[in-house]
A and B are shown apart, each in its own frame.
Chain A
């Protein structure tokens, strides 16, 4: 794990340490199994086409889990995630698999964030962030916000 982040380490405008992700058809299958979301929208071409999204899309909830991953990695074990929200604004399409383990070349996603506010409330040192998932074209296909408590060096 990275070294612990403290409230004093961040300012408004500070960047959340970016997290790289690659969605693959294999990952979507794995996510469906682990989550129980077996909507054919995420694995069946004709079904996805009939809904007007072209082809199977990445689960919004998987992109949401990436954003949680972004935040919990950044705030560390002494930090606490208080709130998180996100909206799915654009479709993302997984890379297909080339071998058992490796996907074809293609889209790479980055989860990013920025501190929008920091304040102390009672005992808690809090930071608000805007967070998003960006596709290879730099388009934000999922956007949201998060509120986290960070440990303070003052205590």
Chain B
């Protein structure tokens, strides 16, 4: 068993930015997400409660914003692009890091900028594995960076 060897085609994609997408945060989508993950926090679920809170609106649970919820951006397209230049077909989600920099809630409009921050070869229990880090930055309508996410994916 050996570490995955990163092809030149893959190396060329490192640092490459995808076309930015606009990401609108909506209360109904937040509520569906909160119910799906079993989070009963009234700030994320209850319109009346949230309206009385200091935020005055339904707030998005941290982690709601970003992959896989990213309207207008299809992460699987990006995976296809990687596969076309040598990424193995097996795909697992490796993990994620978030920097929560400003609250995000109903009505916010975020611009998401996404890039492949790194690709490296490793050896894991799945065999030779390509580890890709995808970094996304979300800037809100007030011009503040509200969120940075770093997702790690494993191709094997």
Contacts and interface: CB of A to CB of B under 8 A. Distances in A.
Contacts of B98: 83-85
A85 B37 contact: no
A110 B90 CA distance: 29
A147 B29 CA distance: 26
Contact of A82 (B33, B37, B63, B99): B99
B101 to A, nearest CB: 8
A96 interface: no
B92 A88 contact: yes
Interface stretch (B1-9, B39-47, B112-120, B137-145): B39-47
Contact of B36 (A21, A35, A71, A73): A35
A72 B61 contact: yes
B69 interface: yes
A81 interface: yes
B36 A31 contact: yes
A34 B94 contact: no
A83 B100 contact: yes
A51 interface: yes
Contact of A68 (B29, B61, B68, B92): B61
Contacts of A12: none
Interface in B41-63: 41-43, 53-54, 61-63
Interface size on A, as a range, is 35 or more
A69 B6 CA distance: 37
Given A69-B37, A77-B53, A85 B95 contact: yes
B95 A36 contact: no
Interface residues of B, number: 33
A101 to B, nearest CB: 13
A87 interface: yes
Given A27-B36, A34-B35, A88-B92, A1 B42 contact: yes
A82 B100 contact: yes
Interface in A1-42: 1, 21, 27, 30-31, 33-37, 39, 41
Contacts of A103: none
A82 B99 CA distance: 6
Interface string B91-109: 1111111111000000000
12 contacts: A31-B37, A36-B69, A39-B91, A41-B91, A51-B90, A60-B94, A62-B37, A73-B41, A81-B100, A86-B95, A86-B96, A88-B93
